[in-house]
Amino acid sequence: MSAPRLVLFLPVLLALSACSEMMTVTPQLEMKSSAQKVEVKAKVMVVGLVSYSPDGRQLASGGATPTVRVWDTVNAKVVRALSIPTGKYGLVDIVYSPDGKRLAASTRTSLLGGDLTHIWDTNSGTLARVVPGNFGNKLAFSRDGLYLLGSELDFPSVFSDIKYHTKQMAVQGGEIVRSYPGVCVGDLSPDGKTALLTTDPGRGMVLVDLQTGGELWRHRERRADAVAFTPDRKHFLGSRAEFHGLVGSRATVSVVLFDAATGNPIRDVARYDVEDTFFGHEKNFQRLTVLEVAPDGTQFLTGNQRGEYKLWNLASGQLIRQLKRPDEKMLLDMSPAHASFSPNGKLVAVTFAGAVRVHNVADGEEVATMIAFDDGEWLVTTPSGYYNSSEKGDQYLSVSVAGSPFSISQLRESFYRPDLVKVALSGGALSDYKKIADIKPPPAVAIVDTPNATASPRISVSLRVKDQGGGVGDVRLYRNGSAVVFEKTRSLSVAAADQGSQLLRYDISLEPGSNTIRAIAFNADNSMQSTDATIEVQANIAARPPALHAIVIGIKDFANPRLELKYPVADAELFASTLETRGKGLFSSIHVRRLMTRAETTNVAIVAALKQARNEVGPEDLFVFYVASHGTVDDGQYLLITSNVGSTSTAKLKQDALKEMISNIPASKKLVVLDTCSAGQLGDAIQVAMLTRGMSDDTAMKVLSRAVGSTVLSAATSVQEALEGYKDHGLFTYVIAEGLNGAADADRDGFVKTLELADYVDNQVPELADKVFQHKQYPIVSPTGQGFPLVRVR
């Protein structure tokens, strides 16, 4: 366990507390090579606390700000921020109750004490209790969760010795049931029956019975900076630093194995010497403030305030390895140390000055970096370059490839992979995936020889695309945020070539008034996109009343009868008729093409319908693509299972094909609705593969939405079933139909708009799934591009 949190050299603490700027640091990332580099371009407040929940599904962190960040390690994201408004001197300790239902955090309300402890319910995030009085510093729950131990700090002046007064509080009632004067919390035995307390500096250790409060033994001469029980309860480790030579210029740091029954030392399990410890702050920084035993009892971790973490073999006392320290430091080269093993012992989370870093215990390699920004945004990154972030969290990343600066948005489509970050945080390997270090530069793109104004409804856009060393891949054009050209270079018709550049021409339709045209091109393997090239084109043409064009697909019958579904045709008909009914009065004409028989719903037939729509839909129109069928994700691709598919591993419509065809439809307003449930037992192998190899549904839908510039609504994630049998329909489509019939009209203006429908579906589907089916279903909602009215409801 970590030592009491006031082991820092007092003048340093005073200086840092007086100036918040001194408590900030820029996190460093492992995503670097000789040619590529990804860096954090913002400072964060120092983080110095970390704790895994007992089930390993959460990780709590905190530091110089009085806010606990709760990370969901299963989904690789921050799920909660718990603040203590009065804790202006930051957090002192964070600890979960043994059952994981409570989370306690102590904070300092004044420089020389005033510790305050809050306890929250981990499921809801609600505050369960504020512990009255001076209670905090080092915290520990009893094994049964009935008691919380904390210490009162007595530190009247900078010239006085630090004194602790440990209290035992009943969690349920909040009353102090027992006090232990002159001692601080060290560690609780794994069975929760005894507590090892460390006394004031130089006065030893004491073991107490938590039920009676009686001392089992006390050794005044055996001081320890940090202590930790072994899992078998028979032993504990204690660390200390002894200073020698003239004014303590040298130190011997040791970790001793003790007999828990008697408190007598057995042997040294680690011992090393440190030179040049004359200065007071260096003496404090060399003390081991982190001492954690792995869950299987074979290894232990030590750490000091230099950010030096070492993993040791407990039986032999041999140093296994030292964890790599990032180049992020505070004043006097300090790096607050705290650590927590995952319950299965495969991972260990440690704090450095700017971030929580998760390491693989087997090889010591870093697997993820978790960064919380002061504005509430967050990032989880992997050394390979894959990341998850809050909505604006990746704005704090800067990228350079071959020495040239780029935006993180240019890598987002390839490296925004929450699913792979989940794999890393579960201890899985990402060695089979491309790394950001392997990325080649994207081409340079410029729009040339294109007028800024025209009286024609169409315009020829000329792109000059120059290879920068990474080749040329896909080319996309967006008009007012929606994709209108999506073309692969193998099919490009090159207008001219000059000194390594190509001139490409595209004929695109325009909307009346202002048209923002944006062009991008990818490198050869489509892993990184170019910097945007944009132009504003004023189209002096008459406005045409918009029409509604929809392709509505319901696939009930399949070549493989075991894939048969009950409601897709009924769902598709409900959706189609709702569009036809509610679209009246908003659109000049409505064209809904229904594809519902086995012959109409083959992959060939669906492709033909999408190609025909490209020729029929105008830029002012609304295009809607709806499908109810089976769907899944494999090898990073969303797969639509069509009627001619005999099994889930044969010809299907892939995400790339759908993305290209929908992008090339010239409408600026597009809505994609995918009511596709998992393919049952036949899809099990694909689902397992997806968890270790491919992109999740959620990520795939976001990538599809960003690429197409459309709002995409998807029924369920691939580890859930889309629920059927709600009023003779699938739940997802029924909720969408209700929304289009007026329930989603949040502002009551008589129109249901894309964002309103997305919010309504996002809220109603989980609520009804739980209420009616006692089942979890969370739709995937990815609104991108223009917000616009879909139907008129009055």
Q: What φ, ψ does residue 66 adopt, rounded to 5°?
A: -80, 50
Q: Note whether 10-425 and 444-539 share their fold.
A: no
- Predicted confidence at residue 251, as pLDDT, reads 83
- Of 203, 157, 188, 226, give the one whose Cα is nearest residue 7: 226
Q: How confident is the model at residue 692 (pLDDT cuts 50, 70, 90)?
A: very low
490 in Cβ contact with 434 (< 8 Å):
no
User: What is d(CA 527, CA 440) in angstroms, rounded to the nearest whole number?
Assistant: 8
Give how far the C-alpha of residue 718 lies from the chain's centroid of Cα atoms, to the nearest Å: 18
Cα 53 from Cα 273, distance rounded (Å)? 35
Contact 75, 422 (CB under 8 A): yes
pLDDT tens-digit readout, 283-296:
667 789 999 999 99
- Check residue 646 and give its pLDDT: 65
Class of domain 10-425: mainly beta
The domain 444-539 is placed in CATH, from the list 1.10.645.10, 3.30.465.10, 2.60.40.10, 3.40.50.970, at 2.60.40.10
The region of weakest confidence among 441-445, 468-472, 656-660 is: 656-660
Q: Name the band, by pLDDT with cuts 50, 70 and 90, for residue 9.
A: very low
In the predicted structure, residue 18 carries a pLDDT above the cut 50: no
Per-residue pLDDT, 710: 66
Q: How far is Cα 142 from Cα 190, in angstroms, rounded to an integer?
A: 9
Q: Is the pLDDT of residue 713 over 90?
A: no
Alpha-carbon gap, residue 328 to 354, rounded angstroms: 7
pLDDT surpassing 60 at residue 91: yes
**Confidence (pLDDT) at 353:** 85
Helix, coil or strand: residue 337: coil
Rounded-to-integer distance, Cα 300 and Cα 610, Å: 61
Please give the share of the chain, as a percent, with pLDDT higher than 90: 53
Please provide the DSSP assignment of 589-610 as one string. -EEEEEE-STGGGSHHHHHHHH
Amino acid found at 220: R
Check whether 76 has a pLDDT greater than 50.
yes
What is the pLDDT, as a whole number, of residue 208? 95
Q: How far is CA 377 from CA 10, 26, 414, 417, in A?
A: 32, 15, 21, 17
Q: What is the mean pLDDT of residues 268-292?
A: 78
Whether the pLDDT of residue 559 is over 70: the answer is: yes
Mean residue pLDDT of the chain comes to 84
pLDDT at position 492: 46
Q: Please answer whether residues 629 and 642 qualify as being in contact, where contact means their C-beta atoms are separated by less than 8 angstroms.
A: yes
The predicted model gives 450-454 an average pLDDT of: 97
Let me know: does 351 contact 339? Beta carbons within 8 Å. yes
Confidence of residue 11 (pLDDT cuts 50, 70, 90): very low
- For 345-396, the pLDDT digits (tens) are 999 999 988 999 999 999 999 999 999 999 999 999 999 999 999 989 999 9
Amino acid 558: pLDDT: 87
Structure tokens given for 249: 């210029």
767 within 8 A of 774, measured Cβ to Cβ: no
What is the model's pLDDT at position 85? 85
The pLDDT score that the predictor gives to residue 715 is: 79
**Nearest Cα residue to 374 out of 62, 690, 769:** 62
How far, in Å, are 71, 683, 730 from residue 74 at the CA level?
9, 22, 28
Per the rule left: phi > 0, alpha: psi between -120 and 50, beta: everything else, 524 is: alpha
Of 60-64, 65-69, 565-569, the least confident? 565-569
Tokens 């043409």, residue located: 541
Give the lowest-confidence range in 17-31, 90-104, 659-673, 699-713.
699-713
Percent of the residues in the chain that have a pLDDT greater than 70, as a whole number: 82
Least confident stretch, 69-83, 101-115, 248-262: 101-115
Residue 731 CA, chain-centre distance (Å), reads 29
CB of 425 within 8 A of CB of 358? Answer: yes
Taking 80 as the threshold, does the pLDDT of residue 650 lie above it?
A: no
Confidence bin at 651 (pLDDT 50/70/90): low
Q: Domain locations in the chain?
A: 10-425, 444-539, 548-792
Beta-strand runs (E) in 575-710: 590-595, 622-634, 637-641, 653-654, 669-677
**What is the enclosing helix (H) or strand (E) of 150?**
strand 147-154
The DSSP code sequence of 417-456 is: -HHHHHHHHTT---TTS--GGGPPPPPEEEEES--SEESS
Whole-number pLDDT of residue 726: 62
Residue 706 has pLDDT above 90, yes or no: no
Q: What is the pLDDT of residues 483-509, one digit of tens each?
A: 899 887 644 444 544 566 889 999 999
- Contacts of residue 564, Cβ cutoff 8 Å, sequence gap at least 6: 556, 557, 558
For domain 548-792, the question of CATH label 3.40.50.1240 is answered with no
- Using pLDDT thresholds of 50, 70 and 90, give the confidence band for residue 727: low
Report in angstroms the alpha-carbon separations of 76 from 115, 395, 417. Answer: 31, 18, 10
pLDDT of 494 reads: 47
**Contact, 137 vs 89, CB < 8 A?**
no
Predicted pLDDT of residue 155: 63
Comparing 104-113, 132-141, 279-288, 729-738, the range with the smallest average pLDDT is 279-288
The more confident residue out of 43 and 330 is: 43
Radius of gyration of the chain (CA): 31
Tell me: pLDDT of 136 over 90.
no
3 state DSSP class of 686: helix
Spatial CA neighbour of 435 closest among 26, 28, 29, 72? 29
Amino acid sitting at position 454: T
**pLDDT at residue 32 tops 70:** no
Give the pLDDT of residue 10. Answer: 36
Paired strand residues for 139:
none
Residue 725's pLDDT is what? 57
User: 299-308, 593-602, 686-695: which range is least confident on average?
Assistant: 686-695
Top mean pLDDT of 450-464, 726-740, 752-766 is at 450-464
The answer to whether 601 and 595 have CB atoms below 8 angstroms apart is yes
